């Protein structure tokens, strides 16, 4: 039996990278999937077509996670389109590097809005529709625990906030039969964080397995956390980082 058969999922930032891998995996597990994209309509349309060819339904929604109103509206669009919501995956996020003396306040605000406020807004909107057996998965970062290079303090802070949000909301949702968990990837090969180049080679020195992760590996963890065997996993932050900094 597929892990998420006949359910509906909503994924933020799902048109490429880790998000696209999550969308594909949830569809392969049996879910119809709605997902947001900020601006890359071509990639979003291609992903919808790919999912539909596999026999499941997909729905792409243009919504920039910097806007709380757009995020909340996107959740409602997904529910209207599919008629229900069983899985929420907060994947959208950004990283802007800078130390405390140089980072413009608008960059700080943008990171907080996308990496912290948007997941909260999505959770708040989804909470009206999720029922017992529902699943919420946040995509955080191993940098919440370990930041081994300079200029990453604000990014690290936003991902640590996701840890706290996950732990706290587990108390709120647990009695309702809904779980919420946080996945903390290490470096993952995407078009925005390629596994080649000087910075990548530097990061690999911190990774015990000596390589970047794959989006499909993160998606596999999402599959488990949204499936029937994970009902006793709640409020957890699960590292999937190849031994980053071990």
Bridging pattern class, strands 87-90 and 8-11: parallel
Judge contact between 158 and 118, C-beta under 8 A: no
Tokens representing residue 54 in the block: 């596999």
**Which strand (E) or helix (H) includes residue 237?**
strand 237-240
| Residue tagged active-site, from 155, 202, 224, 232 | 155
Nearest to 19 by CA among 244, 179, 185: 185
Helix axes 68-82, 118-126, angle to 10 degrees: 30
Q: Which residues pair with 47 in a beta bridge?
A: none
For this structure, is 155 an active site residue? yes
Nearest to 245 by CA among 105, 120, 142: 142
- Give CA–CA dist 125/136, Å, rounded: 12
Can you tell me the distance from the alpha carbon of 63 to that of 75, in angstroms, rounded to the nearest whole number?
A: 10
With 0-12 / 13-18 / 19 or more C-beta atoms within 10 angstroms meaning exposed / middle / buried, residue 233 is middle
Burial string for 131-165 (b: 16+ CB within 10 Å, else e) reads eeebbbbbbbbbbbbbbeeeebebbbbbbbbbbeb
State the catalytic residues.
155
């Amino acid at each position: 039996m597929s892990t998420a058969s006949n359910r509906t999922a909503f994924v933020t930032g799902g048109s490429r990278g880790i998000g696209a891998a999550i969308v594909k995996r949830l569809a392969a597990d049996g879910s119809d999937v709605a997902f947001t994209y900020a601006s890359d309509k071509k990639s979003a349309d291609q992903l919808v077509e790919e999912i539909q060819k596999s026999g499941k339904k997909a729905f792409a929604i243009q919504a920039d996670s910097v806007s709380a109103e757009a995020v909340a509206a996107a959740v409602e669009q997904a529910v209207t389109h599919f008629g229900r919501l069983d899985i929420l995956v907060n994947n959208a996020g950004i990283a802007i590097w800078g130390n405390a003396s140089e980072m413009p306040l608008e960059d700080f605000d943008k990171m907080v809005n996308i990496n912290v406020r948007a997941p909260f807004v999505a959770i708040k909107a989804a909470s009206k529709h999720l029922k017992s057996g529902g699943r919420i998965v946040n995509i955080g970062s191993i940098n919440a625990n370990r930041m081994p290079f300079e200029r990453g303090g604000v990014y690290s802070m936003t991902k640590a906030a996701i840890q706290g949000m996950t732990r706290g909301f587990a108390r709120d949702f647990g009695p309702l039969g809904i779980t919420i968990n946080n996945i903390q990837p290490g470096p993952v090969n995407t078009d925005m964080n390629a596994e080649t180049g000087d910075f990548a080679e530097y990061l690999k020195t911190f990774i015990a397995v000596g390589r970047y992760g794959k989006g499909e590996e993160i998606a596999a963890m999402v599959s488990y956390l949204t499936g029937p065997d994970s009902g006793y996993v709640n409020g957890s932050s699960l590292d999937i980082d190849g031994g980053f900094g071990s």
